[in-house]
Amino acid sequence: MYADNTLTPKEATRLCALGILADGPIAYAELASGVRHFVTHVMGPSLDVLGTSIELLKHEGLVTSISGQADKAVLEITAEGTAELKMLLKAKIKTAENDLNKLIIALKFRYMDLLDSDERRQQLDLLSETFENEQARLEELRAHHVKDSVHLVEWLDREIEDLERRLSWLNAKRERV
């Protein structure tokens, strides 16, 4: 993890792989394909993110082979892997919006059911705080450039409105959890 307790690209991939395994045993090749599919559809292809090896997860004792060999091996998550998964799910999110954050947020929502209701609410609060900070940053930028460029201000207004919609949606979701 980064010093601010946010996920690195490789940890995002680890979260994805462990989350897939939390659903039950799966063949090595299917796991690799599932991780690649999710990551590339959320943020596009990225060597930084897709570079994590499933072999490393096995070496660290987070997953184990229950049958077969090589890419036909059937893997399952271990107790250590489940603990690692929960720790990764609870990581903070960087304020600035980027492709990695989009992936981490998508993974948090994809595997949120693995957390208990209090942990889910904490994650929704964390997401709300992240979006509120992003909104404040953009509003400050808008105020600074309000006289400079109508195009920039219009773009910032659209971004701020999008964040307001996200916050409203998160508040409604928190009420349902």
Tens of pLDDT, residue by residue over 93-110, are: 877 678 888 999 999 999
CATH number of the structural domain 1-93: 1.10.10.10
Output the pTM of the full model. 0.85
Q: Buried b / exposed e across 10-49, counting CB within 10 Å, b at 16+?
A: ebbbbbbbbbbbbeebbbbeebbebbeebbeebbeebeeb
Where are the CATH 1.10.10.10 domain residues in the chain? Answer: 1-93
Q: In percent, how much of the chain has pLDDT > 90?
A: 67
CATH superfamily of the 116-177 domain: HscB, C-terminal domain (1.20.1280.20)
Where are the CATH 1.20.1280.20 domain residues in the chain? Answer: 116-177
Q: pLDDT at position 161, please? A: 97
Q: pLDDT at position 72, please? A: 85
Q: pLDDT at position 4, please? A: 77
pLDDT-flagged residues of the chain (< 70): 3, 46-52, 96
Task: Report the mean per-residue pLDDT for the chain.
Answer: 90
